[in-house]
Chains A and B, each alone.
Chain A
């Protein structure tokens, strides 16, 4: 267990990446969180959404699903997707400890979100 330190420069770079890849294609909200449920970076419209709770629940959701994966003999499920009537949420693992959470409406194609999410994941890992 270590301590993760976010410098202003790192935050700015991460925010820019999330903007360029995800907000640019119409995603409403993109968060980077760690597996403990802390928010590292959040961009997009988040006035109405309680992002603290969202991060905690998303991390727990990921953890719970990992346990299901283990029951089935998988290591983990690296992508989760939940579909709502209007809003959808997509969770993907980046590296060991970070989860990318994106919230988007039906107007944004899921395939595009998945593509951009995997592209941005590579860039983030490179940081």
Chain B
């Protein structure tokens, strides 16, 4: 649920990075955090993790520009990707105004991407949201692995698997190098703010 505070003249927008385990959701947040100057970003919150997994969520507050005279505050969240953490994912998804689905381009992760998308669809429904309605952007991550000779899925295959009926915007990415990271963020934030503004104006 978006929040518009007319006293502070701020509009809050929650964006959730979703996707299978180890697809690079936290890496996206880390890159954004490291690349932005202090005045745009808040503290990066990560809940104690075991190894490289996210246990509950990461949170990065950002302030990016204005619409009319309202400051836009984005709250970027990630979810734990592993199947095991299903209840935690559901909690984090509550009140989301936009979703980035970070898919793993590795060929062996093909089924995990599909499972995770089905899981997203199901959780959104539990919060009375329709995956076709909420702003959604796909990010096909780890595109650089091809050069190392690791079998990856082609863009056509990923589109066919995940985005065939959703027809959401998508970006190719190499999250640790920042390729595609800001393009994804820019698009989802634009879509989400427009989505909130439309609801608000109604």
Residues of A whose CB lies within 8 Å of any CB of B are 1-8, 11-12, 34-38, 40, 50, 52-53, 56-57, 59-60, 63-64, 66-67, 97
What are the residues of chain A within 8 A of B67 when measuring CB–CB? none
Task: Judge whether B87 and A64 touch: CB under 8 Å.
Answer: yes
What are the residues of chain A within 8 A of B152 when measuring CB–CB? none
In the complex, which of the residues A8, A36, A38, A52 has the most CB atoms of chain B within 10 Å of its own CB atom?
A36
Give the number of residues in B that approach A within 8 Å (Cβ atoms): 33
Residues of B whose CB lies within 8 Å of any CB of A are 1-7, 12, 14, 42-43, 45, 47, 56-57, 59, 61, 75, 77, 87-88, 90-92, 94-96, 127-129, 196, 199-200
Q: Looking at the complex, which one of B5, B42, B43, B91 makes contact with A60 (CB distance below 8 Å)?
A: B91
Task: Judge whether A1 and B128 touch: CB under 8 Å.
Answer: yes
Task: Judge whether A8 and B7 touch: CB under 8 Å.
Answer: yes
Task: Judge whether A64 and B6 touch: CB under 8 Å.
Answer: no
What are the residues of chain A within 8 A of B2 when measuring CB–CB? 3-4
Task: Judge whether B7 and A36 touch: CB under 8 Å.
Answer: no
**Closest residue to B44 on the A side, CB-wise?**
A53
What are the residues of chain A within 8 A of B5 when measuring CB–CB? 6, 11, 40
Task: Judge whether B88 and A6 touch: CB under 8 Å.
Answer: no
Known: A38-B14, A67-B87. A7 touches B7 (CB 8 A): yes
A123 nearest CB across to chain B (Å): 19
B70 nearest CB across to chain A (Å): 11
In the complex, which of the residues A53, A60, A64, A66 has the most CB atoms of chain B within 10 Å of its own CB atom?
A60
**Closest residue to A8 on the B side, CB-wise?**
B7
Q: A36-B96, A40-B3, A56-B59 are in contact. List 6 more A-B contacts (CB 8 A).
A: A3-B3, A6-B5, A8-B6, A35-B95, A38-B1, A57-B45
A28 nearest CB across to chain B (Å): 20
Task: Judge whether A3 and B91 touch: CB under 8 Å.
Answer: no
In the complex, which of the residues A1, A37, A52, A66 has the most CB atoms of chain B within 10 Å of its own CB atom?
A1
Task: Judge whether A38 and B3 touch: CB under 8 Å.
Answer: yes
Q: Looking at the complex, which one of B45, B90, B96 makes contact with A56 (CB distance below 8 Å)?
A: B45
Q: List 14 A-B contacts (CB under 8 A).
A: A1-B128, A4-B4, A5-B200, A6-B7, A7-B6, A11-B5, A36-B3, A38-B95, A52-B75, A56-B75, A60-B57, A63-B90, A63-B91, A67-B91
Tell me the complex Cα distance, A97–B78, Å. 22
Tell me the complex Cα distance, A123–B133, Å. 35
What are the residues of chain A within 8 A of B59 when measuring CB–CB? 37, 52-53, 56
Known: A53-B43, A53-B59. A11 touches B7 (CB 8 A): yes
**Closest residue to B93 on the A side, CB-wise?**
A36
What are the residues of chain B within 8 A of A59 when measuring CB–CB? 94
